[in-house]
């Protein structure tokens, strides 16, 4: 059955008569006109008054509920809690509901007032059933469209009556409660066996909505079998025709990810703040344009002696001393090109002290502005250490030069050698001319000593012993110098030798002195032999001659002259020893001391010539006496000077260790007659 809308233009008197008749019969003017027209054209009425009133009442209540729902959705839309897709679905829902309401209004407004007396009851009953079917069909279509829209919304939606029973739950809500939608209808929160806290919260909010009649919003946590989810909700009452609240709709948006993001952000901010405040360095954040101080940690306050409030109230230029234009330009250019720069500067404290600092700066974005993040470290201690190190290195350099010592360090894996500057001079190089190669080092050794040096190095590394040798070097001008070298090897955790380091000492003067001692000793020995021969000849001659012959012997003056010459020569050599050498001893083949220098008598706490006639073994520790005796025995076979270390014990005072050089004097038969040390 179809309906058509028409417009009637009636005289004023007729309109007033129709209105008066409609008022008297408690009906509308449209119904009265429709009834008269139906009667005139013999068209049966469609509804009885009772059915029309019931239908109109139900339709009005439905309109009221739908209007409430649209209002609630509009509030959600304005609250910015729905996505763009949800907003589009709500707009579609409004359009569909408005069109359905318009159709139902037209149907009710143009239904004619029935005249039961003119038609049989059976026909009237059939027409009423047809109209009820049409209304149900319209309502079903509305419900289907509304359900489709709500089913597509990812938010949790459910409707509860005054008793707390679920009258509607969308699919998202059913998934949240982990129940079938049909099962949820008619159930309460207690029936769903939710947690006690969740049940109490939902019931309390349900009670407040029905008591106050005002919507409620908040956040809620709903646990599931696998995890719990956080929701942001709004609980709206739905009023009927009479204004009473019959149901309430609950709409919730899942904000779990947003909450997790907020928590992560909050934790990140807390970590940043903790890191910012617990950093050992001072941190300054400065505006890149205005150079205004934006943020500072408490370490900076301690460094400068200001409170944080004071730091924010003074210009940053009062803290950071001004840079010269060229350096500032260079730093800003590096900061722009590379994004960061490290440099040394000076900050001024509150008490006027100037503190040397190392600044690490980088460009950052801070609170929607370009800023410079400065990590500032107090380097006062480092500067003091650098000054002390420079002074120590200078003292060491002076000491090494004075002692003619040089320091060397060799990387055994690469053969790379590092020398101190005075060691280059010791080997005849110009400062900085040594290329650090092992081959260059070997090339400056005396040809007769190269194999000896390499063998000594290999033996020390293999046996893990100290390296202690003497060798010769040849300068570019042909000068030969003697070097004493001591060192040791260093090994990795696996026992592999990785480096070797030590010191070198120029002992050229000592070697020349030893040669001089040896030559002088030889000359003294030869002259002593000659004197002994003259003495024996003189004594033999004297024993064979009478006193008168001795006095008249022409050879006697010559012998006396020779004796006098030898004595003068011996005194001259002795004076030379006392003036030149620290310690000098001459012992015979039995180890008895025959000659000493003044320094030797002082060292061994004896009077002048008090050591003469004393066995040299008394001055040496018992453990080292056998070593000295064995050296004496070797000298009788190998006529070469030897160097050894012995521990001495003076007649009075503390003991000491010394390195000595021993040479031997031989007679015409090649026999050792004395040792010089």
Predicted local distance difference test score (pLDDT) of residue 343? 92
Angstrom distance (rounded) from CA 193 to CA 177: 10
The sheet carrying 480-491 orders its strands as 416-419, 405-411, 497-506, 480-491, 467-474
Q: Is the residue at 271 inside a domain?
A: no
Is residue 422 within 8 A of residue 406, CB to CB? The reply is yes
Is residue 480 within 8 A of residue 470, CB to CB? The reply is no
Q: Is the residue at 642 inside a domain?
A: yes
Q: Is the residue at 236 inside a domain?
A: yes
Predicted local distance difference test score (pLDDT) of residue 109? 47
Q: Is the residue at 273 inside a domain?
A: no
Phi and psi angles of residue 41, each rounded to the nearest 5 degrees, phi first: -100, 10
DSSP state of 615: B
Angstrom distance (rounded) from CA 465 to CA 462: 8
Q: Does pLDDT of 665 surpass 70? A: no
Q: Does pLDDT of 34 surpass 80? A: no
Predicted local distance difference test score (pLDDT) of residue 137? 63
Q: Does pLDDT of 347 surpass 90? A: yes
Better-scored residue on pLDDT, 502 or 513: 502
| Reported confidence tier of residue 349, pLDDT bands at 50, 70, 90 | very high
CATH number at residue 669: 3.30.450.20
* 19 plus 100 within the same structural domain: yes
Q: Is the residue at 316 inside a domain?
A: yes
The sheet carrying 340-348 orders its strands as 293-296, 282-287, 369-378, 354-366, 340-348
| Reported confidence tier of residue 422, pLDDT bands at 50, 70, 90 | confident
* Tokens linked to 204: 């309390």
Is residue 95 within 8 A of residue 88, CB to CB? The reply is no
* 244 plus 134 within the same structural domain: no
* 480 plus 515 within the same structural domain: no
Is residue 231 within 8 A of residue 254, CB to CB? The reply is yes
* 457 plus 516 within the same structural domain: no
Predicted local distance difference test score (pLDDT) of residue 119? 41
Predicted local distance difference test score (pLDDT) of residue 116? 44
Predicted local distance difference test score (pLDDT) of residue 102? 55
Sign of CA dihedral 83, 89, 95, 100: negative
Considering 314, 346, 378, which residue would you say is the last residue of a domain?
A: 378
- Model pLDDT for residues 250-290, shown as the tens digit of each residue: 999 888 888 888 777 777 777 777 777 777 788 898 898 88
Predicted local distance difference test score (pLDDT) of residue 82? 53
Predicted local distance difference test score (pLDDT) of residue 642? 67
164 Ramachandran zone, left/alpha/beta (phi>0; psi -120 to 50): left
Q: How many domains does the chain have?
A: 5
| Reported confidence tier of residue 208, pLDDT bands at 50, 70, 90 | very high
* 311 plus 177 within the same structural domain: no
Is residue 373 within 8 A of residue 352, CB to CB? The reply is no
Angle CA 154–157–160, to nearest 5: 170
Of 182, 202, 175, 181, which is closest to residue 190 (Cα–Cα)? 202
Is residue 42 within 8 A of residue 111, CB to CB? The reply is no
* 416 plus 501 within the same structural domain: yes
Predicted local distance difference test score (pLDDT) of residue 576? 58
* Tokens linked to 576: 């030379």
Angstrom distance (rounded) from CA 205 to CA 220: 11
* 541 plus 606 within the same structural domain: yes
421-435 burial, b at 16+ Cβ within 10 Å, e below that, comes to bbbbbbbbbeeeebe
* 427 plus 283 within the same structural domain: no
DSSP state of 214: S
**Average pLDDT over the chain, rounded to whole?**
76
* Tokens linked to 647: 């521990």
Residue 636: give the domain boundaries. 511-676
* 397 plus 368 within the same structural domain: no
- In the chain, pLDDT over 70 holds for what percent of residues? 66
Considering 461, 479, 506, which residue would you say is the last residue of a domain?
A: 506
3-state SS track over 404-439? CEEEEEEECCCCEEEECHHHHHHCCCCCCCCCCCHH
* 179 plus 147 within the same structural domain: no
Predicted local distance difference test score (pLDDT) of residue 53? 55
- Model pLDDT for residues 580-624, shown as the tens digit of each residue: 556 777 777 777 777 777 777 777 766 655 677 777 777 788 777
- CA atoms within 13 Å, Cβ hemisphere of 159: 17
E-assigned strand segments in 328-456: 340-348, 354-366, 369-378, 405-411, 416-419
Q: Is the residue at 234 inside a domain?
A: yes
Predicted local distance difference test score (pLDDT) of residue 112? 46
Q: How many CB atoms lie within 10 A of CB 538?
A: 18
Predicted local distance difference test score (pLDDT) of residue 550? 47
Phi and psi angles of residue 112, each rounded to the nearest 5 degrees, phi first: -75, 150
Predicted local distance difference test score (pLDDT) of residue 178? 84
- Model pLDDT for residues 103-162, shown as the tens digit of each residue: 555 544 444 444 444 444 444 455 555 555 665 666 566 667 666 776 777 888 889 998
Angstrom distance (rounded) from CA 295 to CA 311: 9
Angstrom distance (rounded) from CA 54 to CA 62: 12
* 646 plus 577 within the same structural domain: yes
* Tokens linked to 432: 């900085």
Considering 122, 153, 184, which residue would you say is the last residue of a domain?
A: 153
DSSP state of 654: -
Of 38, 462, 60, 81, which is closest to residue 258 (Cα–Cα)? 81
Predicted local distance difference test score (pLDDT) of residue 355? 92
Q: Is the residue at 657 inside a domain?
A: yes
Predicted local distance difference test score (pLDDT) of residue 121? 45
Q: Is the residue at 274 inside a domain?
A: no
Which ranges in 9-153 belong to alpha helices (H)?
Answer: 12-24, 29-40, 49-78, 84-109, 121-152
Q: Does pLDDT of 328 surpass 90? A: no
Number of residues that make up the chain: 677
Angstrom distance (rounded) from CA 665 to CA 671: 8
Mean pLDDT lowest among 268-277, 355-364, 400-409, 466-475: 268-277
Mean pLDDT lowest among 1-5, 241-245, 508-512, 546-550: 546-550
Predicted local distance difference test score (pLDDT) of residue 117? 43
* 149 plus 161 within the same structural domain: no
Is residue 284 within 8 A of residue 296, CB to CB? The reply is yes
Of 177, 55, 37, which is closest to residue 107 (Cα–Cα)? 55
Of 76, 61, 64, 63, which is closest to residue 236 (Cα–Cα)? 76
Angstrom distance (rounded) from CA 79 to CA 73: 10
Angstrom distance (rounded) from CA 498 to CA 596: 47
| Reported confidence tier of residue 63, pLDDT bands at 50, 70, 90 | low
């Amino acid at each position: 059955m179809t309906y058509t809308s028409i417009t009637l233009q009636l005289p004023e008197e007729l309109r007033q008569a129709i209105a008066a008749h409609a008022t008297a019969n408690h009906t509308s003017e449209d119904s009265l006109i429709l009834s008269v027209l139906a009667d005139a054209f013999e068209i049966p009425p469609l509804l009885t008054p009772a059915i029309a009133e019931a239908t109109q009442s139900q339709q009005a209540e439905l309109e009221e509920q739908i209007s409430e729902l649209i209002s609630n959705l509009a509030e959600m839309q304005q609250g910015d809690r729905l996505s763009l897709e949800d907003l589009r679905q709500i707009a579609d829902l409004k359009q569909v509901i408005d069109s359905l309401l318009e159709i139902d209004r037209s149907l009710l407004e143009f239904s004619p007032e029935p005249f039961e007396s003119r038609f049989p009851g059976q026909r009237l009953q059939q027409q009423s059933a047809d109209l009820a079917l049409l209304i149900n069909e319209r309502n079903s279509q509305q419900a289907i469209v509304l359900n489709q829209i709500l089913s597509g919304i990812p938010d949790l939606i459910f409707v509860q009556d005054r008793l707390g029973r679920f009258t509607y739950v969308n699919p998202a809500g059913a998934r949240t409660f982990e129940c079938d939608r049909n099962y949820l209808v008619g159930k309460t929160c207690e029936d769903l066996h939710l947690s006690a806290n969740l049940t109490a919260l939902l019931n309390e909010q349900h009670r407040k909505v029905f008591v106050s009649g005002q919507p409620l919003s908040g956040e809620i946590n709903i646990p599931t079998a696998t995890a719990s989810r956080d929701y942001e909700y709004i609980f709206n009452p739905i009023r009927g025709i009479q204004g009473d609240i019959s149901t309430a709709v609950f709409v919730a948006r899942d904000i779990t990810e947003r909450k997790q993001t907020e928590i992560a952000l909050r934790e990140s901010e807390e970590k940043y703040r903790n890191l910012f405040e617990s950093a050992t360095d001072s941190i300054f954040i400065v505006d890149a344009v205005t150079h205004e101080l934006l943020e500072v940690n408490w370490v900076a306050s301690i460094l400068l002696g200001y409170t944080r409030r004071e730091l924010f109230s003074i210009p940053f230029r009062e803290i950071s001393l001004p840079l010269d234009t060229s350096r500032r330009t260079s730093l800003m250019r590096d900061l722009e090109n590379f994004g960061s720069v490290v440099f040394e500067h000076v900050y001024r404290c509150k008490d006027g002290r100037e503190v040397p600092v190392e600044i690490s700066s980088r460009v950052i974005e801070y609170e929607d502005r370009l800023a410079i993040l400065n990590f500032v470290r107090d380097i006062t201690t480092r500067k003091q250490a650098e000054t002390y190190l420079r002074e120590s290195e200078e003292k060491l350099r002076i000491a090494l030069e004075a002692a003619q010592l040089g320091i060397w360090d060799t990387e055994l894996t690469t053969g790379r050698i590092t020398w101190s500057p005075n060691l280059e001079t010791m080997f005849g190089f110009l400062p900085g001319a040594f290329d650090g190669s092992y081959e260059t080092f070997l090339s400056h050794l005396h040809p007769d000593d190269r194999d000896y040096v390499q063998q000594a190095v290999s033996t020390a590394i293999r046996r893990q012993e100290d390296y202690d040798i003497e060798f010769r070097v040849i300068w570019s001008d042909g000068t030969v110098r003697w070097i004493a070298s001591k060192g040791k090897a260093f090994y990795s955790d696996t026992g592999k030798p990785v480096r070797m380091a030590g010191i070198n000492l120029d002992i050229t003067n000592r070697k020349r002195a030893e040669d001089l001692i040896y030559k002088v000793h030889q000359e003294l020995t030869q002259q002593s032999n000659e004197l002994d021969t003259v003495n024996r000849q003189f004594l033999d001659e004297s024993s064979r001659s009478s006193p008168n012959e001795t006095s008249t012997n022409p050879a006697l003056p010559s012998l006396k002259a020779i004796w006098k010459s030898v004595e003068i020569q011996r005194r001259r050599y002795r004076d030379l020893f006392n003036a030149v050498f620290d310690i000098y001893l001459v012992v015979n083949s039995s180890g008895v001391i025959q000659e000493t220098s003044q320094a030797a008598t002082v060292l061994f706490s004896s009077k002048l010539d008090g050591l003469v006639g004393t066995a040299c073994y008394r001055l040496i520790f018992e453990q080292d006496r056998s070593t000295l005796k064995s050296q004496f025995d070797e000298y009788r076979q190998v006529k070469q000077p030897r160097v050894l270390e012995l521990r001495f014990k003076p007649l009075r005072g503390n003991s000491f260790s010394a390195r000595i050089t021993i040479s031997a004097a031989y007679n015409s038969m090649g026999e050792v007659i004395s040792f010089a040390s």
